Structure 1
Amino acid sequence: MRRSAPGRSASGSDVTAPKRFPATLKPAAAAVQREVLMPQRHLHQATRDAARLARPSGTGLDGGAVRERMVARLRAEGRFDERVLAAMAAVPRHEFVDTALAAQAYEDTALPIGHGQTISKPSVVAHMLGLLFAGHGARQRGSLGRVLEIGTGCGYQAAVIALLARQLTTIERLQGLHDKARQNLQRVALPRSQPAPRLIWGDGHAGHAASGPFDSIIAAAGGEDLPPAWAAQLAPGGRLVAPMAAAGRGQVLVVLDHVVEGGASRWVRSEHEAVLFVPLKSGVV
């Protein structure tokens, strides 16, 4: 999955946070350094799970049948947005994992992608994108609009978002993963009607003001509190979904809505289920 850090964009421009932030949000505390990997499992555990899972049966991975079966299993749970499921059915997840693990690509499990990271479980991707779609602005637009993704990872979620957004900017702090995601996304054919994702090697902690404001922001790494730069770059009517620390609950999915009433802006925060994502970090590597 992905992380964030101060640095430069792919174009060489500095990535800096806005100087003014919503007064209701305080600067993020230092990220807790823990050997955890997203979602909900350590790297060695994800590797063991990948080794024991059964190979998909039926047609080959490129045929689409295994993707349809993955989506059918998610649909049977009855809690995921159909637009998200349709996008996931169109993206070949096996193209974003190592060849040795491709047979497990359509199981609902995290898989190692190198650099000490993992690709998120399909159900986690579906749930977080569904939360974005449930926002008032997305319901009005019928799409996720202009999206900022914090933590590109291997690029799988970026490919799914690209089918649901008007424009996607995605940031990765690890250059090795940034380069891998770029190669993966170039190999996977996205519809020509969709703008190509903008990949940035830089500090996701600071967002990317040059590409904002954003209708939707989604993060794949969690800190002690939401970075003020993210809220400052969230457009009126926009929604943010990210794992963050919650008092007495560990790490949970946090939803932040930018609400405008009577010409005044306010940010409404709600907390959802417990999760376990890697720490949000600063500093490109």
Structure 2
Amino acid sequence: MRAPANPANQALEEMLRIQVIERGITTPRTLRALRAVPRDAFFPPGTRDNVYADKAQPIGHGQTISQPYIVALMTDRLDIQPTDNVLEIGTGSGYQTAVLSMLAARVYTIERVKPLLDTAFDRLGTLALKNIHFRLADGTQGWAEFAPYDRILIAAGAPQVPEKLLLSNLKDGGLAIFPLGPEANQTLTLIRRQGDSLRPTPICPVRFVKLIGIEGWAER
């Protein structure tokens, strides 16, 4: 007799098919990373009804966990290689961090909200992910100790290209991805560094929380 299907696995596969694969993201490594990370582990108890909903979900402190498609899209466009070091700015729930850790050699993640960082640290520790390094700081200032990075992911909307951050933290030839523009009119943007030039490629309209920091928006 065949064992009954796991409802959680069924929900995950349905999400991947409808929200990710049918929208054009089919890279095997990206899909494997998404399958390997239990998204429900990054939601507080009692809030897991919308784990696979096609929209961002609040996680407290004015922050959100991105919808699965956006996590998949940002991850896929970074084209992370197994030897890459990745800088993530905005740990948030830790879900995107975990997905990155499945693809990269090391992930260095910065969060400015201590309760979020503490919770993400505990969640990622429970999953026994050993290649993640955490820091409480203004992410727009980067993490000079381990720079330069092969890839940078900024999980909040920047008012303009953070040139100082990218030129001091991103390797020549490296890629960065982040939302760019005013809060109501952001564009997900991929940046490739070529020498001292930062060459942008717009991807699609998005809506993220603001990137707060010296090279971001001022905190009110």
- TM value normalised by structure 2: 0.86
1:275 alignment partner in structure 2: 206
Q: In the aligned structure 2, how far is the partner of 1:116 from the partner of 1:268?
A: 31
Q: Is the 8 A contact 1:151 1:204 kept in 2?
A: yes
Deviation at 1:125, TM superposition (A): 0.5
Q: In the aligned structure 2, how far is the partner of 1:277 from the partner of 1:229?
A: 19
Q: In the aligned structure 1, how far is the partner of 2:198 from the partner of 2:73?
A: 22
Alignment of 1:83-94 (within 5 A): 83-94=29-40
1:252 alignment partner in structure 2: 187
Q: In the aligned structure 2, how far is the partner of 1:96 from the partner of 1:182?
A: 11
Q: Is the 8 A contact 2:188 2:202 kept in 1?
A: yes
Q: Is the 8 A contact 2:147 2:168 kept in 1?
A: no
Q: In the aligned structure 1, how far is the partner of 2:76 from the partner of 2:154?
A: 14
CA RMSD of aligned residues (A): 2.1
Structure 1: gaps spanning 5 or more residues: 1-57
- The superposition leaves residues 168-225 of structure 1 with CA deviations (integer Å, 9 ceiling, x where unpaired) of 00000000101111111112244xxxx4200111110101111110000001111221
**Amino acid in structure 2 at the alignment position of 1:244:** L
Deviation at 1:79, TM superposition (A): 3.1
Residue in structure 1 matching 2:131, options 192, 196, 201: 196
Deviation at 1:144, TM superposition (A): 7.0
Deviation at 1:256, TM superposition (A): 1.2
Q: Is the 8 A contact 1:144 1:216 kept in 2?
A: no
**What SS is found at the alignment partner of 2:198?**
strand
**What SS is found at the alignment partner of 1:229?**
helix
**What SS is found at the alignment partner of 1:99?**
coil
Asked if residue 172 in structure 1 is aligned to residue 107 in structure 2, the reply is: no
Asked if residue 217 in structure 1 is aligned to residue 166 in structure 2, the reply is: no
Q: In the aligned structure 2, how far is the partner of 1:183 from the partner of 1:60?
A: 26
Q: In the aligned structure 2, how far is the partner of 1:80 from the partner of 1:209?
A: 34
Figure out how many residues of one structure are paired with residues of the other and give that number: 208
Deviation at 1:266, TM superposition (A): 3.1
Alignment of 1:1-285 (within 5 A): 59-61=6-8, 64-73=9-18, 74-133=20-79, 138=80, 142-143=81-82, 145-190=84-129, 195-227=130-162, 228-245=164-181, 250-260=185-195, 265-282=196-213
Percent identity, aligned pairs only?
A: 35
1:48 alignment partner in structure 2: none
Q: Is the 8 A contact 1:152 1:171 kept in 2?
A: yes
- The superposition leaves residues 262-281 of structure 1 with CA deviations (integer Å, 9 ceiling, x where unpaired) of xxx53212222111111111
Deviation at 1:164, TM superposition (A): 0.6
Q: In the aligned structure 1, how far is the partner of 2:109 from the partner of 2:146?
A: 10
Structure richer in strand, relative to its length = 2
Bigger Rg, which one: 1
Give the 4+ runs in structure 1 shifted more than 4 A: none
